[in-house]
Structure 1
Amino acid sequence: MATEVVPPIRRSLVVPLSQADAFDLFVRRLADWWPLATISLGRLEAASCHIEPSIGGRVFERARDGTEALWGTVVAWDAPWRLAFTWHPGRAPASAQEVEVRFVEVLAAQTRVEVVHRGWERAGERAAPMRARHDEGWQAILARFEALSRGETAPPEPREPGGCGG
């Protein structure tokens, strides 16, 4: 039986930051805007999340007790233009999707951030429902990123656990 192609999630937003600052906020300040209490493996025990800044670097969360859980691995690092990483929090790397984030300068202090989350076919029968959960998750995640980019307090975390884990 052939695996059905599941379309990628595509999200785009414009933030009032330079390309370098948008990249920096996304990568180096990930824990400032990522909704860890609802979109993580550890939920309320998750203390921070990180992207190691090089190809082969880890994308991971750290719990309050110091334990770490792998979310994925950096596969492209072209600062400040592009970042890509595998995505398999709580799952085997063989089932990973890929997240690509591009930072396109619109004006000197305005950048379009484009997120493409693809490779759902690797999840087999779970692909369509998993994609639907992640689509909702990215909406909440990027709303927090956008608010912080504007100097606002990030919106509250989603009430229900989102879909970026498992």
Structure 2
Amino acid sequence: MDDQDLTLMFKALGHPIRRDILDLLKGKPKTTSELTGYFKNVSRYAVMKHLNILEQANLLLIRREGRTRVNYINIVPLQQMLNRWSTRYQSNFASAIVSLKTKIEGSNNDMSLVHDSFQIEQEIIINANREKVYNAMTKGINDWWTYRLCGDGSILTLEPKVGGKFLEANKNGKAALWGTVIKINPPEEIRLSGLLGMEGAVNSSYSFKLEEKGSSTVLKLSHHAVGLLNPDWQHSHNEGWKELLGDFLKNYVEKNELPKSNK
């Protein structure tokens, strides 16, 4: 993240209405009309100007469904800003303190499963061509995908074909299916269906779209889950995707750098 990106972000966060918009989108994506309805004393034109500033700062992702514009929060730049001034140890320690504060204040007492849904949208710019990113996401996935369900030493493989398995297995025979490929269009798109560490009555699907942007690639993640969900799962998956794609995959492709846990 360069100084110009930071300047745009601080400008975007400097107005209370724009901060309110991000707070509203934190729960779930909303159409422009829905957002306008929250601000009774602000014109639609003014709300659109605020949305445009957030989009310029890459804090807002836009998806069009017919004539409807759906707005999603993009938290990757916020994490990149945090990483600039904190180590991972400091970040984890601060998160633990915030979590403890929240529990003490009693705002997070009910962690039972509830019937709900969530959608996560993120964009990451990787300074490499689309083919290199695609190959890293398929052939090289074991090198940078650090999360494991079967313990240390397990191997991850992703078969790039419809019906192909995104599988983890260890030498003792323990295995876990992270997902199954339901659509593939090399090197532009991979769609999978799978639980991604969640358990129980959940339907979960996630897709990766790779778009060329000059000599770089824009990786667009979309993850949707519905069913009996733990209220923590959206946050944990959001953070997990940021780390996996915005940190581990990006560094693996751009710098040939392995995550510390894989070295």
Flag the structure with larger Rg: 2
**Correspondence list, 1:15-164, <5 A:** 15-35=126-146, 39-46=147-154, 48-89=155-196, 95-107=202-214, 109-119=215-225, 121-122=226-227, 124-126=228-230, 128-142=231-245, 143-157=247-261
Structure with the largest fraction of helix: 2
Offset from partner CA, 1:32-81 (integer Å, 9 cap, x none) = 1111xxx22113242x2111111111111121335432111101111100
1:74–1:86 contact (8 Å) kept in structure 2 = yes
- Separation in structure 2 between the aligned mates of residue 96 and residue 102 of structure 1, nearest angstrom: 20
Counterpart residue identity of residue 80, structure 1: P
- Give me the TM-score of the superposition, normalised by structure 1: 0.78
In structure 2, the CA distance between the partners of 1:67 and 1:125, relative to structure 1 (3 Å rule), is closer
Larger RCO, structure (CA 8 Å, separation 6 or more) = 1
Partner Cα distance (2:181, 2:196) in 1: 13
Shift of 1:131: 1.3
The normalised TM-score by structure 2 is: 0.51
What is the letter of the counterpart of residue 129 of structure 2? S
Instruction: Give the conservation status (yes or no) of the 8 Å contact 1:101–1:114.
Output: yes
Counterpart secondary structure, 1:60: strand
**Unmatched runs of 5 consecutive residues or more in structure 1:** 158-166
What percentage of residue pairs aligned between the two structures are identical? 20
Q: Distance in 2 between matches of 1:152 and 1:72?
A: 26
Paired residues for 1:1-20 under 5 Å: 3-6=115-118, 8-20=119-131
Aligned residues: 147
For the residue of structure 2 that corresponds to 1:96, the secondary structure is: strand
Structure 2 unaligned runs (5+)? 1-113
Match of 1:160 in 2: none
